[in-house]
Amino acid sequence: MPFDVREILKYLDEGHHPDAGPPRWLRESWEDPEGFFVALRAAHAGRSAVQPKSQPGQHYDLFHDLVLRHFDSDRVALRAYDKLRGWQTLSYRQLHDRASRRSAEWAEQGVKPGAKVCLIYNVGVEQVISLLAALQLGACVSLLPTRGMSFVPHRLEILQPDHIAAEPHQVPLFEGFEKLLLRGRGVATPRFSSHVYEPDEPVGLLFSPLADPPDTPVPLTAAQAWQGALCDGMLTFGLGVGDHLAAPGLHFLQHQPALLFAALLRGATFLHLELEDLERDPTPLYTHPIHTMGVCPELREILLKSRSGSLAKVSLWFRSPEEPLDWKSWRDWVRQCELTEAQHANVLIDAAAGGMVVGSLRRVGDIHVDASPAPGRTWTLKDINMSGQEAPGDVGVFTLLPDEERPPGHVVLSRVRDQHLYAATRDVRREGRVYPAAEVVTALQDMPFSAGASVFPVPTGGLQGHSYVLLVFTGAELPAVTAREAGTRREQIRQHLELQLGAEYLPDRIEFFPLYPRMAKKGLDDAWCRSQYETGALHRKSNHPIFRAITGVRGRLLESEARSGDDARDRMTG
Which residues in 224-256 are b (16+ Cβ under 10 Å) and which e?
bbbbbbbbbbbbbbbbeeebbbbbbbbbbbbbb
Q: For position 72, what pLDDT does the model report?
A: 80
As a whole number of angstroms, the distance between CA 290 and CA 285 comes to: 8
Q: For position 17, what pLDDT does the model report?
A: 65
Q: In what order do the strands lie in the sheet with 452-461?
A: 452-461, 465-473, 509-513
CA distances from 83 to 275, 277, 300, 498, 526 (A): 11, 7, 20, 22, 43
For residues 388 and 382, is the Cβ–Cβ distance under 8 A? yes
**21: buried, middle or exposed (CB in 10 Å: 19+, 13-18, 0-12)?**
middle
Considering only residues 83 and 302, tell me which one the structure prediction assigns the higher pLDDT.
Answer: 302
What are 108-138's pLDDT values in tens digits?
999 999 999 999 999 999 999 999 999 999 9
Largest CA distance in the chain: 85
What are 304-336's pLDDT values in tens digits?
999 878 999 999 999 999 998 888 999 999 999
As a whole number of angstroms, the distance between CA 526 and CA 524 comes to: 6
For 379, other C-beta atoms within 10 Å of its C-beta total: 18
For 78, other C-beta atoms within 10 Å of its C-beta total: 24
pLDDT of residue 94 exceeding 90: yes
- State how far Cα 73 lies from the chain centre: 31
Q: Stretch 503-515: mean pLDDT, rounded?
A: 94
What are 249-264's pLDDT values in tens digits?
999 999 999 999 999 9
Dihedrals φ, ψ of 285, to 5°?
-65, -25
**The one-letter amino acid at 563:** R
pLDDT of residue 107 exceeding 60: yes
Q: Please count the CA atoms within 13 angstroms of the CA of 393 that sit on its side-chain side.
A: 7
pLDDT of residue 54 exceeding 50: yes
Specify the DSSP element, H or E, that contains 548.
Answer: helix 545-573
Q: For position 561, what pLDDT does the model report?
A: 75
Q: For position 204, what pLDDT does the model report?
A: 97
Q: Stretch 382-408: mean pLDDT, rounded?
A: 91
What confidence category does residue 187 fall into, taking pLDDT thresholds of 50, 70 and 90? low
Strands 509-513 and 519-520, sheet pairing: unpaired
Q: For position 73, what pLDDT does the model report?
A: 79
Dihedrals φ, ψ of 206, to 5°?
-105, 140
Omega before residue 18 within 30° of 0, cis = no
Q: For position 192, what pLDDT does the model report?
A: 82
Angle between helices 33-45 and 24-31 (to 10 degrees): 110
As a whole number of angstroms, the distance between CA 13 and CA 512 comes to: 55
Q: Please count the CA atoms within 13 angstroms of the CA of 256 that sit on its side-chain side.
A: 25
Q: For position 566, what pLDDT does the model report?
A: 53
Q: Stretch 157-173: mean pLDDT, rounded?
A: 94
pLDDT of residue 82 exceeding 60: yes
As a whole number of angstroms, the distance between CA 484 and CA 233 comes to: 56
End-to-end CA, the chain: 82
Question: Which has the closest alpha carbon to 102: 76, 74, 67?
Answer: 67
**The one-letter amino acid at 336:** Q
Dihedrals φ, ψ of 435, to 5°?
-85, 125
As a whole number of angstroms, the distance between CA 102 and CA 188 comes to: 7
Number of helices followed by number of strands (H, E) in the chain: 18, 23
Q: For position 462, what pLDDT does the model report?
A: 61
Q: What is the dihedral of CA 215, 508, 443, 298, to 10 degrees?
A: 50
CA distances from 107 to 103, 137, 138 (A): 6, 7, 11
What are 67-80's pLDDT values in tens digits?
999 988 789 999 99
Q: Please count the CA atoms within 13 angstroms of the CA of 553 that sit on its side-chain side.
A: 6
What confidence category does residue 505 fall into, taking pLDDT thresholds of 50, 70 and 90? very high
For residues 424 and 410, is the Cβ–Cβ distance under 8 A? no
Which residues in 129-152 are b (16+ Cβ under 10 Å) and which e?
bbbbbbbbbbbbbbbbbebbbebb
Q: What is the 3-state secondary structure (H, E, C) of 484-529?
A: HHHHHHHHHHHHHHHHHCCHHHCCCEEEEECCCCCEECCEECHHHH
Q: For position 191, what pLDDT does the model report?
A: 80
For 207, other C-beta atoms within 10 Å of its C-beta total: 24
Average pLDDT, rounded, for the chain: 91
Q: What is the pTM of this model?
A: 0.94
Coil/strand/helix, residue 5 = helix
For residues 244 and 317, is the Cβ–Cβ distance under 8 A? no
**The one-letter amino acid at 380:** T
Q: What percent of the chain has pLDDT over 90?
A: 74
Q: For position 548, what pLDDT does the model report?
A: 86
Residues pairing with 356 in the sheet:
349
As a whole number of angstroms, the distance between CA 221 and CA 4 comes to: 27
For residues 224 and 378, is the Cβ–Cβ distance under 8 A? no
